[in-house]
Chain A
Amino acid sequence: MRDPDEVLVSRIGQGDKRAATELVRRHLPKMVAVARRMLGDAAEAEDVAQEVFLRVWKHAATWTPGQAKFETWMHRVAMNLCLDRLRRSGRNAGEVSPETPDLKASATRDLEEKQRSARVHEAILELPERQRAALALCYFQEKSNIEAADILEISVEALESLLARARRSLKARLASDRADLLSGLETG
């Protein structure tokens, strides 16, 4: 199947800024979302997304179609930038501070929902970075197992192992809140 970004990337390689704008528009939210899940920080996620597209701009001319999808390559760049940042800053798993929910929400239900969401978000951010990356790609970015494995440069078996460990770990972390969280879901 033809890469949907192939034509745009070829035009960007020739210096076409309009094509670059179109590609940015198409993929920016996904890049920000994956970086945000990895880093737990909106400003840093935006920096990562910017860096991804800067690399696209610089390297589009040397892109060879027919290997991985271009979007897969962008996700790989984003993921590596996130992992670099986490390592450089010395932040390990569990040290990523989640963004706090807006507590000014007036409606109680909204507030409870935000708190529940924040609790799950926090538990995800506490996962080791590779497990978090696997979960972000397969569960939230809706990548296929092959694409996610490709992005993380691991085998599908290794990806499945990361996902299984991530789920197991999350179950343990959320065990004490599980009943509350699920009852909230039923009443909400």
Chain B
Amino acid sequence: MQESRFFQLLAAYGADLSRWPPAERRAAEALLKSGPHRLRDVWDSERAFDRLLGLENEHVMTASEQRRLEMRVMASFPQRNWNVAAFIPHMPARVSAQQWLTGGALAACLAFGVFMGAMTGGVSPNDEYADMLSLSGAGAGAMFLSVLDEHVVDAE
């Protein structure tokens, strides 16, 4: 390795060889060992500067901070067609044709049942009226009035 390249890499990556391009690390180490003493002096100076940069502590998120942010991030995702299998354990990621047929048949039965119920089990207007009376208490009131009418008739 040429000295000029050594200084070029040292100026960019500092004295921590783990940051250097892997292909040039060995050559740099060899040059440091066998090269002129001033190389080691510059190296030491850069290492001191690396330590100074290392003072910059990274803020490490606490577990609760991370959890909060994870929830916020996940909540920001717009809804889309979910892969249902992802939420139900042991369900195959892809639904087979046979499973589609079974599901389809069940859905058809349900639709047929609803349709037949609507056609045959309709509620007549009279039934509806009777229900309303019983619910509102008007049925009892009507009965009371009719009894009162009978008393009036008797008195006359």
The chain A residues found within 8 Å of chain B, CB to CB, are 11, 14-21, 24-25, 28-29, 32-33, 36-37, 42, 46, 49-50, 53-54, 57-58, 113, 116-117, 119-121, 124, 138-140, 145, 156, 159-161, 163-164, 167-168, 170-171, 174, 178, 181-182, 185
In the complex, chain B residues whose CB is within 8 Å of the CB of A58: 78
Q: Are B8 and A15 within 8 A (Cβ)?
A: no
* Chain B interface size range: 35 or more
Residues of B within 8 A of A57 (CB): 77-78
Contact of A185 with B12 at beta-carbon distance under 8 Å, contacts A20-B74, A28-B70 already known? no
Q: Are A120 and B73 in contact (CB under 8 A)?
A: no
**A11-B86 contact given A181-B52, A182-B51, CB 8 Å threshold:** yes
A49 and B73 form a contact (CB under 8 A): yes
Interface residue ranges of B52-104 to A (CB < 8 Å): 52-53, 55-61, 66, 69-70, 72-74, 76-78, 80-83, 86-87, 93
Residues on the B chain within 8 Å of A25, using CB: 66, 70
Q: Is A185 touching B52 in the complex (CB atoms < 8 A)?
A: yes
The SS class assigned to the A binding surface is helix
Interface stretch, picked from B13-21, B119-127, B130-138, is B13-21
B9 CB-CB contact with A under 8 Å = yes
Which one, B55, B70, B86, contacts A185 given CB within 8 A? B55
Per-residue CB contact flags for chain B residues 25-52 toward chain A (1 = under 8 Å, else 0) read 0000000000000000000000011011
Task: Give bound CA distance, A70 to B150, whole Å.
Answer: 92
Rank and list the top 10 A-B pairs by shortest CB-CB distance, nearest first.
A16-B86, A160-B12, A163-B12, A164-B11, A120-B56, A15-B83, A164-B12, A117-B57, A57-B77, A120-B55
B11 surroundings in chain A (CB, below 8 A): 163-164, 167-168
* Cα–Cα distance between A138 and B53 once the two chains are bound (Å): 13
Contact A15 B73 (CB under 8 A): no
Judge whether A18 and B87 touch: CB under 8 Å.
yes
Which listed residue (B9, B55, B66) contacts A160, Cβ 8 A? B9
Q: Which partner residue on chain A sits nearest B20 by CB separation?
A: A145
| CB proximity of A29 to chain B, nearest CB, Å | 6
